[in-house]
Amino acid sequence: MVNYRGSSLMRTSLTSKFLSRKQSPTAIALYIIFLFAFSIVIFLFNAGNIVEDKQNPIISHESHSQSQSQSQSQSQLLQVADEELWGAPSSHGLRPCVKPTSRYKAAQGSGHYLTVKSNGGLNQMRTGISDMVAVAHIMNATLVIPQLDKRSFWQDSSTFSDIFDELHFIKTLQGDVRIIRELPKELELVPRARKHFTSWSSMGYYKEMMQLWEDHQVIHVVKSDSRLANNDLPLDLQRLRCRALYHALHFSPPIQSLGKKLVDRLRMRSGRYIALHLRYEKDMLAFTGCTYGLTDAEAEELRIMRDNTKHWKIKEINSTEQRLGGFCPLTPKEVGIFLQAVGYPPSTLIYVASGEIYGGDARLLELMSHFPNLVFKEQLATEKELKAFAKHASQSAALDYIISIESDVFVPSYSGNMARAVEGHRRFLGHRKTITPDRKGLVRLFDELEGGQHREASSFSYLVRQIHKNRQGAPRKRKGPSPGIKGKARYRTEESFYENPYPECICSSKAV
Ligand SMILES: *[C@@H]1O[C@H](CO)[C@@H](O)[C@H](O)[C@H]1NC(C)=O
Ligand SMILES: *[C@@H]1O[C@H](CO)[C@@H](O)[C@H](O)[C@H]1NC(C)=O
């Protein structure tokens, strides 16, 4: 749902202005004082209450040993602060595990074909395609390379091979499912069974669907998103989903190569960086009815957009309640206050993965006043390099994806398909640090700050850090449905398989 046409010209001029400013000695002195004050806060914080993570008690050992070493000397103290900001949570020996069990067999499926229309944005398509690999395996069918969504909000004409490495996809899954580029000529005109498969279906559902083979040689799947349950599937099927998404579905060579270049350029700028998925686009705000911090005219513009978008069912939204419930994307300003409170210094390099920010540069300035070192891909890549990506939202999103996966820290300002996919992939790759803002808790603290209740910046920072202690991407099992919700609705409340493929695709070394 994101529109990736950014106001690149504005961004370039704005940021270069900030970037070109030399750091004055006063600024450096202030920075050192800030770091010092901050490490004291950390020291007090760690030496005091160490809150046990109930879901994941293994974490607390680490905190104990850290607080001991912190009391030794000040230089070490700074180091620990640095490690807390940039270090990945401990994986506790957990590793990716995607190998099939000894019972597993490839699907031969030579006579039956599955054609797929993959819907949604880049990450909805990626996870949907991985699910379709699993569905083809259950149904013993040959999978035809999926067609990508061209009509959706994204308006991207890219084909599968523009975005993904098709040959690699086919070859990697050779031992799982037969995949072919196109339906054989003689089958092009035979009537297909057109199916809207039920959302979050079980393996049993697809076994039943195999009855369709009695009358049809080809099944056409009209939508690929969320067609397969998150939980209660055989281990081999879950691992197949991981092989499909993480091993087989690589981006095409041009995307992969530019993505790597951009990561290298970021590393050259400062060694390490935060990737911020700043979900603050017009459609998102209109959809969620979030108007906090906007002008009346802007709020009205969003209301009209919501009214006019037929497939958005909910029209009346109380923005205040929405925000207090934690259902609004953080504003750029809130993101700035948040990251500062977590302890990132103003010089931190932040890569902004996003579409066009609603309210434009004026609103972005509210983040830049805290973190002047913001970069967009328009500043990292030359015009010539980006030319091939213009008007291809999904390819552009793929660059953001690569940069987000490779970042030292990933921070999504809102949940969504991209945030979930990146978080899950980072968990899979070794629990790279992902800080997931507790939006509900933060909004309460922001309002208290606004109301003058936190006169000490350190006490505010302490509270922010406290509620994010266990939201850093450390290992934990995928969450099941919310309690008390019955029937189909509970599937909606489960944590997505691709947001956290633990335990099926992440195991302790012993268990592999
Ligand atoms: C899968 O399909 C092949 C033919 O394409 C068939 O020989 C095999 O028995 C099928 N396997 C299952 C489990 O149905
Ligand atoms: C929205 O909700 C808030 C908090 O519950 C309430 O104070 C306010 O009056 C509501 N606004 C409207 C327009 O209903």
Contacts of 145 (CB under 8 A, 6+ apart): 160, 161, 166, 169, 170, 179, 180, 181, 182
What is the reported pLDDT for 33?
62
pLDDT of residue 277: 97
Look at residues 248, 269, 289 and tell me which one is the last residue of a structural domain: 248
pLDDT(77) > 90: no
- 415 Cα–ligand 2 center, Å: 24
Do 142 and 270 belong to one domain?
Answer: no
Which ligand ends up closest to the CA of 320? 2
Same domain, 288 and 207: no
Q: Is 372 in the pocket of ligand 1 (CB under 6 A)?
A: no
Query: 3-class secondary structure for 201-264?
Result: ECHHHHHHHHHHHHCCCEEEECCCCCCECCCCCCHHHHHHHHHHHHHHCCECHHHHHHHHHHHH
With 80 as the cut, is the pLDDT of residue 36 above it? no
- The phi, psi pair for 46, rounded to 5°, reads -80, -35
- Is the CB of 321 inside a 6 Å radius of any atom of ligand 2? yes
**For range 158-182, the mean pLDDT:** 97
In this structure, the answer to whether residues 354 and 209 fall within a common structural domain is: no
Last residue of a domain, one of 248, 278, 298: 248
Residue 80 binned pLDDT confidence (cut-offs 50, 70, 90): very low
Taking only the tens place, the pLDDT of each residue in 461-512 is 999 999 999 999 999 999 999 888 888 889 989 999 999 999 999 999 765 4
pLDDT in the model for residue 29: 65
> Which of 196, 214, 248 is where one domain is finished?
248
> How many Å is the Cα radius of gyration of the chain?
24
Q: Domain containing 137 — which CATH number? A: 3.40.50.11340
Res. 14: pLDDT tops 80: no
- CA of 316 relative to ligand 2 center, distance in Å: 12
How far, in Å, from the CA of 288 to the mean position of ligand 2? 16
Pocket test for ligand 2, best of 300, 316, 319, 321 (most atoms within 8 A of CB): 321
Q: Which ligand is nearest to the CA of 106?
A: 1
Highest mean pLDDT among 64-68, 97-101, 147-151: 97-101
Residues 280 and 387 in one domain: yes
The verdict on 295 and 373 lying in the same domain is: yes
- Is the predicted pLDDT of residue 434 greater than 50, yes or no? yes
**Mean pLDDT computed over 208-237:** 97
**Cβ(318) – ligand 2 distance below 6 Å:** yes
CA 220 from chain center: how many Å?
A: 29
Task: Establish whether residue 108 lines the binding site of ligand 1, counting it when its CB lies within 6 angstroms of any ligand atom.
Answer: yes
Distances (CA, A) of 487 to 202, 481, 491, 493: 14, 11, 8, 11
Which ligand 1 atom minimizes the distance to the CA of 109?
5
Q: In the structure, what pLDDT confidence band is assigned to residue 456 with cuts at 50, 70 and 90? A: confident
pLDDT, residue 65, reads: 41
Distance CA 491, CA 258 (A): 38
State if residue 448 touches ligand 2 by the CB under 6 angstroms criterion: no
- Domain match, 204 and 257 both: no
Statement to judge: residues 161 and 267 lie in one domain:
no
Q: What are the pLDDT digits (tens) for 133-148?
A: 999 999 999 999 999 9
**CA 57 to ligand 1 center in whole angstroms:** 46
Nearest to 274 by CA among 210, 202, 213, 339: 339
Domain shared by 357 and 479, yes or no = yes
- In whole angstroms, give the CA distance from residue 128 to residue 428: 18
- 238 plus 287 within the same structural domain: no
For residue range 239-248, list pLDDT tens digits in order: 999 999 999 9
110 lines ligand 1 (CB under 6 A): yes
Structure tokens at 260: 């790597």
Residue 101 located in a structural domain: no
Instruction: Please report whether residue 453 resides in a domain.
Output: yes
In a domain, 313, yes or no: yes
State the Cα–Cα distance between residues 262 and 399, nearest whole angstrom: 8
* Cβ of 320 below 6 Å from ligand 2: yes
**Given ligand 1 and candidates 140, 177, 237, which is best to mutate, with the most ligand atoms within 8 Å of its CB?**
140
CA of 275: how far to CAs of 237, 412, 438, 510, in Å?
A: 32, 8, 18, 33
| Whether 312 and 446 share a structural domain | yes
Whether ligand 2 lies within 6 angstroms of the CB of 493 is answered as no
Its domain, for residue 16, covers 4-55
Q: Which ligand places an atom closest to the C-alpha of 141? A: 1
Domain count, the chain: 3
Domain match, 213 and 349 both: no
Check residue 27 and give its pLDDT: 65
For the segment 266-276, the average pLDDT, to the nearest whole number, is 96
Residue whose CA is at the smallest distance from ligand 1 atom 14: 140
Q: Is the peptide bond before 57 cis (omega within 30 degrees of 0)?
A: no
208/345 same-domain check:
no
